[in-house]
Chain A
Amino acid sequence: MRYRHFKKRNKRRTKSSLKTPQLIGVASFFILSLTFFGTSLLAQNDRPVGDAYVSGGIGDARVLIPFLADDSASGSICGLVFNGLTKTDKDLNVVGDLAKKWQVSKGGKVITFELHKGVMWHDGEPLTAEDVKFTYDALMDPKNNCPYTASYSDIEEIEVLGSHKIRFVYKEPYAPALLKLGMGIIPRHILEGENLRKSAFKRKPVGSGPYIFEKWKTDEYIILKSNPDYFEHRPYVDRYVARVIPDQAVQYLELITGGIDTMGLTPYQYRYRTDTARFKEKFDRYNYLSHGYTYIGYNLADPLFADRRVREALSYAVDKKEIIEGVLFGLGEVCTGPFLKGSPYYSVDAAGYDYDPEKAKELLKEAGWSDTDGDGVIDKDGNPFKFKLITNQGNKVREDVATLVQRQWSQLGIEVEIQIIAWASFIDQFVDKKNFQALILGWSLPTDPDCYNVWHSEASKKGGLNFISYKNREVDGLIEEGRREFDTKKRAKTYKRIHEIIAGEAPYTFLFFPYATPAVSKRFHGIEPAPAGIGHNFIDWYVTPDERRYTW
């Protein structure tokens, strides 16, 4: 396909619709121009191919090699350019991507994948099992310094069994493996012998995915074009453009004026800036649970929080609904445990600590806390109930949460001092050194429920992510069991139990799952919101010829 001419269609559209207010006028204009430009390509099931989808993000991508990408901008581009062996579907189940099917044997130690035949790299070379082996060898090669090696360290051997068959042998059964093996595959014929970190490939990738890399202007935009030979089908939206617009207020202005087609709205924008006619006429807004939660964590090594009743009381005294209303403008859901709400691993029976200040008071009294000296602050053995609550700077939501819980706890006679600390020193001086009493943070939740790194007692060692020092033998055992079990139903039972035990012990006050709140231009059809969000079927989205904004 050659580009002869480029026009921004919307201007002309305004003109023609001025002449004839009916849609027919507009349509006939487009039909004329389509025949003129000769680009009315039709793909399978007759969805038209054309137009461009322009997204606005706050940061530029950095490295377009899937296992070296560590920021969301690079991640989303890699997701369109590359394929993994597996991927997740709209309901977050693991399904095949390059893998047509797979077989788990020897109690989970061996996973054999059979690849789709006929998948081609964007340069026309066939994708084979050798590429898969090359990718995982490169990932684990210390010379490449991939940050994610820990998830693959149990791989003992990778055996190519044929041009499209490959076997992974693990030292121990590792249930998250199926998901982890969804890492994007990179081409051996281009990269063999290259220093990946220094190669030109990282800024000019060649993948096998639905979109072909076309152009990257640093800090401005990245352009991808739809892959006509994609093995599932050609994506109907012909271009994917990722624009960098660092300021969210400016993103909104660009959205409304048509400079971008989608952005993640802030809760404030979602609530108060989407009621205008200008927005409603051109955009749809979506909301679904984002994969992460915000919590207050208590340092269990601190004697103040050693008594479970105290932690329960603190949780009962936090009005999560008020927080969601006040901080997120209602755009979130209450969280009770460390798994994704709505997933099979999230227990609906776990203790939720619905707001109950009376119960909180009772629990504190039971634990020996009362205001004996009448100064408004409860005390025990002469020590007042005072502690410091820390969070990181630059996260407005967490700062607001701190202020709200400070007030809510003060009603119990607990005095809280808030300290907000710059990220680097927050991690280095406070979290890593376990030098804190209580903190507000969030965890993003990978699709696999394995939570060893956050909740296992081994992770409470220095520098680990179990910095609150939560130790429970039963939970340790269940986490290990969950890692070995491939059967989703059995795993669900295990993780539900973990959820219930952790919730019962209240080491965190689980607060909320915020909603992801994207806005997307109405000219894109075929969007199906699901637990995985809206991007899962991007290659099925399309724009009717009448609605196209960009043609060439």
Chain B
Amino acid sequence: MVRYIAKRLLLIAPMLIGISLITFIVMHLAPGDPTSMRYGLNPEVSGSARAELKKLYDLDKPVHIQYLLWAKRLARFDFGNSFLDDRPVMQKIVERLPATLLLNVCALAVILLIALPIGVSSAVRHGSLYDKVMTIIVFIGYATPTFWFALILMVVFGFMLGWFPISGLRPWYIEYYSSGRQVADLLWHLVLPVVAASFGGLAGISRYTKSSMLEVLRQDYIRTARAKGLPERKVIYKHALRNGLLPIVTILGFALPGLISGSFIFETIFAWPGMGRLGYEAIMQYDYPVVMGVGVIASMMTLIGILISDILYAFIDPRIRYK
């Protein structure tokens, strides 16, 4: 097992290099450069000033040299500085990570809390009216465009009823609140974004749970459990659910990169200061170091997420052993 993990960890490095190389090339294939984006039609900025800026950011060098320079810095865990404000990329990422993590962890928790019971109960009452209604509801959630749903929530609960704040993570005057009130205020600000973010995610988890539960409920040991006279509750929640949740663990591994990457649409609508907006702005402004930084961290999380779910799998399912 240890050898297996070590081997997998070693494999991550070449994969990261491949991913970063492809990202780097694709980014540079797009026409234009950061200076034409920012100063292309600004009468106050001369062509020579633009050329100087290119030099400052090594953009005058051939692409492969630029990549090597970047990789060299990365070897020292330095992601470079943003072109937009010359701040270290890592600092910019760390600054925005908490908001994104907070929102996504809460949303994931809400999704699990609601979707698992929906999945289990739908499997138990497979084919009933309840099952059908639930299916319709979760798929409405899945099919509803996030931005539209978010705006509707905002208009109804923020604008018309005034129950929740419309946007933002916190008000600008939060520091004048007591610390207890600060926490309460934060939760209050979280309600609408979390509801909007989890509605669309219900379908996935609940459907996986349902189909995996259906599979398990057909197994012989379930019949045995029932035959020996166990109460149905015990059959479902002790015997069936344990096995039925195995595939969900895999999915949770994949959710890890999603936790940090954030959603641009979401963060834009809720004025949420997270990673999605950082990445999107970087792409639109050709801020190469930030795009690379966000990209490498997201892909590293994906690779680690896959590894963790594999390990967890072996851990909770004694039938699986890696060599």
Residues in A lying within 8 Å of B, measured CB to CB? 3, 5-6, 8, 54, 62-63, 70, 142, 145-151, 197-198, 202-203, 217-221, 223, 241, 243-247, 249-250, 253-254, 256-257, 259, 423-425, 427-429, 431-432, 441, 443, 446, 453-454, 463-465, 550, 552
Contact = CB atoms under 8 A, between A and B. Distances in A.
Contact of A197 (B86, B176, B274): B86
B167 A250 contact: yes
Contact of A245 (B30, B173, B176, B271): B271
23 contacts: A8-B173, A70-B39, A70-B45, A145-B53, A147-B45, A148-B45, A203-B85, A203-B87, A220-B273, A221-B172, A243-B172, A253-B159, A254-B166, A257-B158, A259-B167, A423-B37, A424-B30, A424-B37, A425-B30, A427-B32, A428-B32, A431-B41, A443-B43
Contact of A63 (B48, B85, B95): B85
A453 B43 contact: yes
B260 interface: no
Contacts of B176: 3, 5-6, 552
Interface of B: 30-33, 36-50, 52-53, 56, 81, 84-87, 92, 95-96, 151, 154-155, 158-159, 162, 165-170, 172-173, 176-177, 267-271, 273-274, 277-278, 286
B273 A219 contact: yes
A150 to B, nearest CB: 4
Contact of A424 (B36, B159, B172, B273): B36
A465 B273 contact: no
Given A54-B172, A218-B96, A244-B271, A428 B36 contact: yes
Nearest to A197: B86
A70 B39 CA distance: 9
Nearest to B269: A247
Contacts of B92: 218
Contacts of B172: 54, 217, 220-221, 223, 241, 243
Contacts of A219: 96, 273-274, 277-278
A281 B96 CA distance: 38
A484 B130 CA distance: 83
Given A243-B271, A429-B31, 20 more contacts: A6-B173, A6-B176, A62-B85, A147-B53, A150-B44, A218-B96, A218-B273, A220-B273, A244-B271, A253-B167, A254-B167, A257-B159, A257-B166, A424-B32, A425-B32, A427-B37, A428-B36, A428-B40, A443-B43, A552-B173
Contacts of A464: 47
A128 to B, nearest CB: 28
A291 B55 CA distance: 32
A70 B43 contact: no
A250 B85 CA distance: 27
B52 A142 contact: yes
Nearest to A450: B43
Contacts of A463: 47
A463 B44 CA distance: 14
B155 A441 contact: no
A163 B173 CA distance: 40
B166 A259 contact: yes
Nearest to A69: B85
B197 to A, nearest CB: 16
A432 B36 contact: yes
B59 to A, nearest CB: 12
Nearest to A245: B271
A203 B82 CA distance: 14
A425 B177 CA distance: 48
A250 B166 contact: yes
B269 A198 contact: no
A428 B41 CA distance: 11
Which 6 A-B pairs give the minimum distances between C-beta atoms? A6-B176, A424-B32, A150-B46, A219-B273, A427-B40, A425-B31
Contacts of A6: 173, 176-177
